[in-house]
């Protein structure tokens, strides 16, 4: 059970990191299918968010109604395409920070190194981030996407 009991109007946010279980072409294929499913399912569940991947890692933020976040994260948790899930933050949210996308995605590139370094990361190891740093990285990468 997640702890969202005091969420105002039931809006919740969850951020987690995980490690992919596939490499190379399989990783790209996994990401493609994950995004197709996510965009469709999240639209039906009023979930918005952002998925960042790179170096075999995922960092994802999900925002939406508490019950939908719980149900979606339960499916994600059981997904055998990744492992070592670390919940970085979970709780009520006052507003959506990623309201424009049912699930946008970003692949870490060389140009992101500087940003990662400001959070103390020499590689993309998002499981090491705390809530504030994870949100800052997600928001910065998200703001570079077209809205
Ligand atoms: C890194 C990662 C992120 C995912 N993100 C979402 C998501 O945002 N929404 C979603 O519905 N499923 C997401 N999934 C897929 C779910 O784990 C699951 O496969 C999908 O919801 C279909 O579930 P079902 O086959 O039980 O219907 C994600 C999976 C992975 C590995």
pLDDT of residue 12: 97
* CA dihedral sign of residues 122, 125, 126, 128: negative
Which residues does a 6 A CB cutoff place in the pocket of ligand 1? 18, 34, 37-38, 41-42, 49, 51, 58, 60, 62, 72, 75-76, 79, 81-82, 103
Per-residue pLDDT of the chain (147 residues; tens, 9 = 90+): 455 544 456 899 999 999 999 887 888 889 999 999 999 999 999 999 999 999 999 999 999 999 999 999 999 999 999 999 999 999 999 999 999 889 999 999 999 999 999 999 999 999 999 999 999 999 999 988 755
8 Å CB contact between 89 and 26: no
> At a CB cut-off of 8 Å and minimum separation 6, what does 126 contact?
17, 52, 57, 58, 59, 88, 134, 137
pLDDT of residue 33: 95
DSSP run (H or E) holding 43: helix 24-45
Give the number of the atom of ligand 1 that is nearest the alpha carbon of residue 51.
3
Instruction: Pick the residue whose CA is nearest to atom 10 on ligand 1.
Output: 38
pLDDT of residue 144: 83
3-state secondary structure of 2: coil
Domains of the chain as residue ranges with CATH: 8-143 (3.30.70.100)
8 Å CB contact between 30 and 20: yes
């Amino acid at each position: 059970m997640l702890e969202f009991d005091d969420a105002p109007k039931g809006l919740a946010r969850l951020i987690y990191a995980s490690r992919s279980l596939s490499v190379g072409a399989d990783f790209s294929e996994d990401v493609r299918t994950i995004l197709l499913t996510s965009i469709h399912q999240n639209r039906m569940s009023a979930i918005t968010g952002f998925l960042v991947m790179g170096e075999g890692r995922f960092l994802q933020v999900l925002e939406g109604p508490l019950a939908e976040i719980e149900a979606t994260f339960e499916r994600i948790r059981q997904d055998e395409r990744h492992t070592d899930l670390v919940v970085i933050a979970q709780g009520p949210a006052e507003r959506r920070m990623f309201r424009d996308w049912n699930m946008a995605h970003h692949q870490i590139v060389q140009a992101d190194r500087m940003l990662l370094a400001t959070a103390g990361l020499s590689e993309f190891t998002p499981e090491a981030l705390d809530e504030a740093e994870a949100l800052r990285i997600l928001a910065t990468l998200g703001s570079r996407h077209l809205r």
